[in-house]
Amino acid sequence: MPIKINITRLILIALLSLITYQTIFGDKGLIHLNQLEEELNIIKKINNNHRLENKLLREEIDLLKYNNLYIEEKARKELGLIKNKEIVLTDEFLALPGHRPKLKSDQKGLKNRLVSFYKKGGITPPTVKELVEKLKTSEKELLSILNVLVREEVVMKLNEEIYYEKSALKMLTEKAVSLMQKQDELTIKSFKDLTGLSRKFMIPFFEHLDKTKVTFRKGDKRILRKT
């Protein structure tokens, strides 16, 4: 009799162990279910990004279909389609294609010092206000030289106070793209943790990424555009 009871117990224990194993590790077990949920969340995230990209593409298609000014702007800025002797209007100046302003000798010296400050500043360049004080010059003269540097693509303007030396801006953009490739998104906090930049620099930089179509905005986050 005790032997039969022990055998019955062993059978019950074996069945219970089998059921437990199947519940946790089986094809329809908890581990497999968690994996499916993770895959489903990834698919949902990808679909949401695609929906946002499709929305942006539809908006751009509508602009290309119905907005002649937008088409003209695209042709000028992205394809370089400018008529001979045509005056070009940019955000900063009016000029003939290929026109390069001539600087006076003292302005050339100021220009070189300005470039030096931007290269030294790197990803935290001095503001226009700070440069006026450092260089002991007027804001008007400083801005005129900055416009020359923008035309020469030595510096890039992000807003009225923040300009970046071209290589520093490129390096910052590469850091942002690399971070988004790892984390699927870009936030103020994550980029501050990576670079140590303050909001004074990050906000105009994020807007620059949107404007140059590196990213698109989703709430307080930036998402990398597909290329």
Report domain extents, the chain. Answer: 2-66, 105-164, 167-224
194-226: pLDDT as tens digits: 999 999 999 999 999 998 889 998 888 999 987
**pLDDT confidence bin for 152, thresholds 50/70/90:** confident
Measured CA to CA, the distance from residue 177 to residue 227 in angstroms comes to: 12
Q: For residue 38, give Cα distances in angstroms to 42, 57, 84, 217.
A: 6, 29, 58, 25
Q: Is the pLDDT of residue 161 over 90?
A: yes
Question: Fold match between 105-164 and 167-224?
Answer: yes
162-199: pLDDT as tens digits: 999 999 999 999 999 999 999 989 999 999 999 999 99
**pLDDT confidence bin for 23, thresholds 50/70/90:** low
Say if residues 60 and 66 touch (Cβ distance below 8 Å). no
Give the pLDDT of residue 127: 95
CATH 1.10.10.2770 fits 105-164, yes or no: yes
28-84: pLDDT as tens digits: 666 667 777 787 778 877 777 777 777 777 777 776 766 666 666 666 666 655 555
99-125: pLDDT as tens digits: 455 666 677 888 889 999 999 999 999
Q: How many CB atoms lie within 10 A of CB 201?
A: 21
Answering whether pTM is above 0.75, one says no
CATH number for the region 167-224 comes to 1.10.10.10
Q: Is the pLDDT of residue 1 over 60?
A: no
Measured CA to CA, the distance from residue 146 to residue 142 in angstroms comes to: 6
118-149: pLDDT as tens digits: 999 999 999 999 999 999 989 988 998 898 88
> Containing H/E element for 157?
strand 155-157
Give the pLDDT of residue 169: 95
Give the pLDDT of residue 50: 76
Say if residues 168 and 158 touch (Cβ distance below 8 Å). no
Give the pLDDT of residue 107: 78
Encoded tokens for 53: 């990209």
Task: Find the largest Cα–Cα distance for the chain.
Answer: 113
State whether residue 131 is helix, strand or coil: helix
Measured CA to CA, the distance from residue 90 to residue 124 in angstroms comes to: 26
